[in-house]
Amino acid sequence: MWLKNFFIGLSQNQMLNKAAQRYGFKLGAQSVVAGTNVDEMIESVKQLNAQGISATIDNLGEFVFEEEEALKAKEQILSVIEAIHKHAIDAHISLKPTQLGLDIHYDFCLQNLREIVSKAHKYNIFINFDMEDYGHLQPSFDLIDALSKDYDNIGTVIQAYFFRAEDDIKKYKDFRLRIVKGAYKEAPEVAYQDKAEIDENFIRLIQYHLLNGKFTSIATHDHRIINYVKKFVEENQISKEKFEFQMLYGFRKDMQIDLAKAGYNFCTYVPFGTDWYGYFMRRLAERPQNLNLFFKQVFNKKTNTFIGIGLGAFLLGRLTKGKKQK
């Protein structure tokens, strides 16, 4: 748990965020982020498609408090939708309501989302609403409820560490859902704190939606859970067309390709842009083993390994120094 809290703390450090945006791609961020602009991202997705892998595209950024920034994000996502259509790639959109203005005003955010969902609906492109921390959970579901009255191309995420997750997955069983463990630091009043309990609930939610839901995206890098799902769908005669596995861009590449080759639907979560730091730190918080995977794939030479270790020490030192100064 201390390691999860450590990475969440790093994700909220604005000084490190700015430094990461400036130097990250020199230190290997390109291995976990599919480019800084739409053109670079499209080329990355084409490479995935060539291996039989689809993509869900995330324009990096969240917790926006200025209308101008939210409108800029909206235009960027609209341009991604146009690019998906123009290049006929196998991809859809993942977005965060806070990037589109949820912390500014609900109606402002709803209007931005309506414009995005409407354009995507025109091109038959799916939009997934990423779920964020507990404080934004119900407002995000409210947005989905409002938009689903007019559009059928939206889905969302169920986070297994929340106590309410079972009720939510039953309410939204007719939606395409991505099931995850959860990556934010949440209070014990609203979320499981023990890894074993989170894993157990994660599996329960997967089972329920595979048996009762519309379409299930199972987001995990854990080969044990993946093997369990393979066995479960076979025993319950669940069609491979009813679900997909999802992993993050740049992680467990060989396993991603192997699952696709084995005939399973596979979708890679593809982030792009310069605001990658908070996203990456939360992936490490969600599953600290990802740090090992990252170093194996980025720092694959002895000299670069020392750079990686030094970077980790630098981040830890700066965070500690920042706390002492407060």
Active site residue 318: no
Residue 96 near residue 62 (C-beta atoms within 8 A): yes
Under DSSP, the state recorded for 129 is E
Give the list of residues 6+ apart from residue 244 with CB closer than 8 angstroms, or none. Answer: 54, 215, 216, 217, 218, 264, 265, 266, 267
Q: Which two tokens stand for residue 89?
A: 């790639």
Which residue type, as a one-letter code, is found at position 183?
Answer: A
Active site residue 178: yes
Choosing from 58, 103, 130, 275, which is the catalytic residue? 130
**Backbone φ, ψ for residue 178 (5° rounding):** -100, 130
Only one residue has tokens 């993946």, namely 226
Which residue type, as a one-letter code, is found at position 316?
Answer: L
Q: Which of 182, 184, 181 is nearest to 204 (CA)?
A: 181
Q: Which two tokens stand for residue 186?
A: 């949440």
Quote the CA–CA distance of 45 and 42 in Å, as a whole number.
5
Cβ burial of 124 (10 Å; 0-12, 13-18, 19+) is exposed
Choosing from 103, 168, 176, 178, which is the catalytic residue? 178
Residue 16 near residue 315 (C-beta atoms within 8 A): yes
Active site (catalytic) residues:
130, 178
